[in-house]
Chains A and B, each alone.
Chain A
């Protein structure tokens, strides 16, 4: 009996080996080196927009003079398939309006001009030079692009740990607690949606820049209050505005070096 069992075990072992060897022909013949990754031709009328350091300047005065409008938010949330759950607890936002005292609580001096106190200013991801969200991300699902400083999101990699949500001092990151698909007003076919359990935020419209278009919020702003450009280029409009007028940034004391400037 014991001899038979030994034989059986030997036979079973050999069979298992044979099965394992036969089951992975794809792993052995996998050859993806035929893919040509060198030649890349951009499309679009004027080619992609490129910069060494993208930055945005928000003219708070112009924004305020135009009255209370949500054009930047509506445009951004439309083109990026951002869902609207209808309650602040689940809210997903890439760009939104915040009161001056909330956006700049550390600069809220007493006896500010009345109009500044009651103004609402657009806030978004600051695409920091020293982004705390990138430091805490365990999967490198968010990272700072070397070529232009955009703090990117890779929704394929995000595992939904929400460290970045906690680390971001500006509240620029939102978590999809629920499946966003049924709550998207009008789905745009050329941009993906997200799934439940990932974090999302503004990406400075990198998918539009590569097509040679300015960010959706900048294009949508009728007041011209949002200016987008290259901070490293001395002749760019953002540099000119920053040189002409006094600007502030949100929570500069934290050392994150935000790249969204506010002209007050």
Chain B
């Protein structure tokens, strides 16, 4: 192999660089980090259980969007018999009122950037 030594050294440097985020987090004692969500400020139980909500809330919100805007259906009775408005700002955020400590925790961790908030209002951010 021509220039074998240089190639191997280059590969080692490359591997160190590409795994840098892992070393960095281990060095900073954040290796086992997982996002911690703030508990709902009010309300006893969510309209769905959190195990379902965690992977599917975006599908639920998309369904709500289509129901409200396209079909004009603004209220729904959940599996537990309670009726609620299909609204991100008025229903979800009335209990989980702190977007920074709830939504953003996972979204930042996973590097997703939903554009809900370009239009939908976070009541806490608006109030003085």
Residues from chain A with Cβ under 8 Å of B119 in the complex? 155, 192-195
Residues from chain A with Cβ under 8 Å of B70 in the complex? 154
**Is the C-beta of A240 less than 8 angstroms from some C-beta in chain B?**
no
Interface residues of A in 1-36 (CB under 8 A from B): 26, 30-32, 34-36
B74 to A187, Cβ gap below 8 A? no
Interface string of B112-128 (1 = CB under 8 A from A): 00010011110100100
> Which of B60, B69, B89, B90 contacts A35 (CB under 8 A)?
B60
A32 to B56, Cβ gap below 8 A? yes
Least Cβ–Cβ distance between A191 and chain B, in angstroms: 8
Residues from chain A with Cβ under 8 Å of B75 in the complex? 40-43
**Chain B, residue nearest A39 (CB):** B77
A206 to B73, Cβ gap below 8 A? no
A152-B69, A194-B119 provided; 8 other pairs, C-beta below 8 A?
A30-B56, A31-B56, A32-B56, A35-B60, A40-B73, A40-B74, A40-B75, A195-B118
**Chain B, residue nearest A50 (CB):** B72
Interface string of B52-91 (1 = CB under 8 A from A): 1001100110010101011011111111000101000110
Interface residues of A in 206-226 (CB under 8 A from B): 206-207, 210
Residues from chain B with Cβ under 8 Å of A31 in the complex? 56
B89 to A26, Cβ gap below 8 A? no
B76 to A42, Cβ gap below 8 A? no
Listed in ascending order, the chain B residues whose CB lies under 8 Å from chain A are 52, 55-56, 59-60, 63, 65, 67, 69-70, 72-79, 83, 85, 89-90, 115, 118-121, 123, 126
Residues from chain B with Cβ under 8 Å of A147 in the complex? 72
Listed in ascending order, the chain A residues whose CB lies under 8 Å from chain B are 26, 30-32, 34-37, 39-43, 145, 147, 152, 154-156, 187, 189-190, 192-195, 206-207, 210
A156 to B65, Cβ gap below 8 A? yes
Residues from chain B with Cβ under 8 Å of A26 in the complex? 55
Q: A40-B73, A42-B75, A156-B69 are in contact. Are A189 and B60 (CB under 8 A)?
A: no
A43 to B85, Cβ gap below 8 A? yes
Q: A152-B69, A156-B65 are in contact. Are A39 and B76 (CB under 8 A)?
A: yes
B69 to A210, Cβ gap below 8 A? no
A32 to B77, Cβ gap below 8 A? no
- Can you report 26 residue pairs joining A to B where beta carbons are below 8 Å apart? A30-B59, A34-B52, A34-B79, A35-B63, A37-B67, A37-B73, A39-B77, A40-B73, A40-B74, A40-B75, A40-B76, A41-B75, A41-B77, A42-B74, A42-B75, A145-B72, A155-B119, A156-B69, A187-B121, A189-B89, A192-B121, A193-B119, A194-B119, A195-B115, A195-B118, A195-B119
A192 to B74, Cβ gap below 8 A? no
Least Cβ–Cβ distance between A180 and chain B, in angstroms: 9
Q: A40-B77, A41-B83 are in contact. Are A189 and B126 (CB under 8 A)?
A: yes
A187 to B76, Cβ gap below 8 A? no
Least Cβ–Cβ distance between B92 and chain A, in angstroms: 13
Q: How far apart sit A36 and B47, CA to CA, in the bound complex (Å)?
A: 11
A37 to B74, Cβ gap below 8 A? no
Q: A192-B120, A195-B118 are in contact. Are A154 and B69 (CB under 8 A)?
A: yes
